[in-house]
Structure 1
Amino acid sequence: MLYRSEFYAYDQDQTVPTVIRNYTKNDFDDLIQIQKECFPPPFPSELWWDKEQLTNHVDLFQAGALCVEVDGELAGSLTGLCVDFDLTDADHTWEEITDNGYIRNHNTKGNTLYIVDISVRPKYRKLGLGKVMMQSMYHVVIQQGLDRLLGGGRMPGYHKVAEEMTPDQYVNAVTKGSMKDPVISFLLRCGRKPIHIVENYLDDEESCNYGVLMEWKNPFK
């Protein structure tokens, strides 16, 4: 079952027609351009989406391949795959659990929708599209009968306080609102909760290579 939601986003006081839908092969060039805009140099270009990865997203789990259009222009994307998640064995890297973005390990019998990537073009970030796309993926979790949505969030503010705080202390401070983090705070506003901190989740100096698993539980399970 394909996903399509039409609504108006707000650019200050102006309404802008917006659509969230599944992306297709016709969108690949635009999706790669969005990656370039979201992750400019010195981010390594080999880590941008390529057409083989995007083809797998569409062919293996199109329900988890969402994009957002603003007034007819592609503005962002959100991609997921299904995995069988067990909190008692929660440690993993991004590369391991997403097959380095190729999702060939997508498990049709999995219990969890795992977020691979979210990207919004810089010029559209003030419209709140990331949060609306995340909420749309919650709809997918419910429609697919999964237990949860899960993903590893970067914690890019952590390097500033790493000498004074453990990763757990930092995440707790952000969760309580006494500190802010660009990624964790965004995910909290989307309704997700931190459940586990993973060491060496990504090669990410700002996060000191940590990631925090953040969960949204299906309220009907």
Structure 2
Amino acid sequence: MYRKQFYVFDQDRPVPVVIRNYERGDFDDLIQVQRESFPPPFPSNLWWNPVQLNNHVTLFPEGALCIEVQGVLAGSMTGLLIDFDPDHPDHTWEQITDHGYIRNHVSTGNTLYVVDISVRPSYRKLGLGQALMSSMYEVVVHKGLDRLLGGGRMSGYHKRANEMTAEQYLNAVVAGEIKDPVITFLLRCGRTPLKVVSNYLEDEESCHYAALMEWKNPFVTTSKII
């Protein structure tokens, strides 16, 4: 199981944090993190429920991570293993994650797929999201997987949808011409875009699009490249 203790910085002040596997006793806090992280218009029915969380800690506990700041659960990240075929990348969040229940987890899969990452808004200046992402990269390396993969919300796209396609928007973010709250964060974490996926998630801010983004295990060479 995973546990890492280190410091993040609140301006110049070191703050102790712990990243560990979340457990059943954390469920209420995890659901509250979801409420704070994804307020309306994000659909509340997509917040975690206890059955989903129980599946996470039962089916793939290695992919169930949370971060504590001085004893307060401030964020979480969840994944499952899939067999990803780069020749057939299109999917929806519901299909790939079993609506968040991860009953389709493949213990011998080649790819760690990110189901969710969330950090309480009041803690977002501490770099906790990047810390969680780095820890999940360590899980990828530890298990010898090909990659980490996930769909990134294009949460600023609704402001530009009348003037550019989703693909043009993603290209503009990658070029540094536009800053998107989610995609720019993922780029900072070392993720690289593969393609835009339509109807990925019920998400008005993204106009239901997502950018499929990966992090390749630098210790593994794969033959298939998009």
Please report the TM-score for the alignment, with normalisation by the length of structure 1: 0.96
- Deviation per CA, 1:111-153: give whole Å up to 9, x if none: 1000000110111111010001000000000011100000000
1:185 maps to which residue?
Answer: 184
1:220 offset after TM fit, Å? 0.1
1:80 aligns with 2:79: yes
Residues 85-94 or 184-193, more deviating: 85-94
1:42 offset after TM fit, Å? 4.7
1:18 maps to which residue?
Answer: 17
What amino acid maps onto 2:21 in structure 1? N
C-alpha distance in 1, partners of 2:167/2:34?
30
1:169 offset after TM fit, Å? 1.4
In structure 2, the residue corresponding to 1:101 is in which secondary structure?
coil
1:9 aligns with 2:8: yes
Q: Unaligned stretches of 5+ in structure 2?
A: 221-226
In structure 1, the residue corresponding to 2:168 is in which secondary structure?
helix
In structure 2, the residue corresponding to 1:92 is in which secondary structure?
coil
C-alpha distance in 2, partners of 1:206/1:144?
35
In structure 2, the residue corresponding to 1:181 is in which secondary structure?
coil
Given that residues 67 and 73 in structure 2 are in contact (C-alpha distance below 8 angstroms), is that contact kept between their aligned partners in structure 1? yes
C-alpha distance in 2, partners of 1:162/1:33?
31
1:140 aligns with 2:156: no
Given that residues 22 and 66 in structure 2 are in contact (C-alpha distance below 8 angstroms), is that contact kept between their aligned partners in structure 1? yes
2:209 maps to which residue?
Answer: 210
Residues 130-139 or 6-15, more deviating: 6-15
C-alpha distance in 2, partners of 1:53/1:206?
24
Given that residues 173 and 184 in structure 2 are in contact (C-alpha distance below 8 angstroms), is that contact kept between their aligned partners in structure 1? yes
2:58 maps to which residue?
Answer: 59
Q: Quick one: structure 1 residues 11 and 120, their matched pair in 2 at CA, closer, same or farther if it must change by over 3 Å?
A: same
C-alpha distance in 1, partners of 2:49/2:204?
24
Identical columns (%): 69
In structure 1, the residue corresponding to 2:98 is in which secondary structure?
helix
Cα root mean square deviation, aligned: 1.1
C-alpha distance in 1, partners of 2:162/2:47?
32
- Deviation per CA, 1:86-126: give whole Å up to 9, x if none: 11111111011000100000001111000000110111111
In structure 1, the residue corresponding to 2:61 is in which secondary structure?
helix
Q: Quick one: structure 1 residues 154 and 44, their matched pair in 2 at CA, closer, same or farther if it must change by over 3 Å?
A: closer
C-alpha distance in 1, partners of 2:28/2:155?
29
Number of corresponding residues: 220
Given that residues 41 and 204 in structure 2 are in contact (C-alpha distance below 8 angstroms), is that contact kept between their aligned partners in structure 1? no
In structure 1, the residue corresponding to 2:182 is in which secondary structure?
helix
In structure 1, the residue corresponding to 2:55 is in which secondary structure?
helix
C-alpha distance in 2, partners of 1:203/1:154?
10
What amino acid maps onto 1:108 in structure 2? S
1:109 maps to which residue?
Answer: 108
1:215 offset after TM fit, Å? 0.5
Query: Deviating runs (4+, > 6 A) in structure 1?
Result: none
Please report the TM-score for the alignment, with normalisation by the length of structure 2: 0.94
C-alpha distance in 2, partners of 1:42/1:154?
14
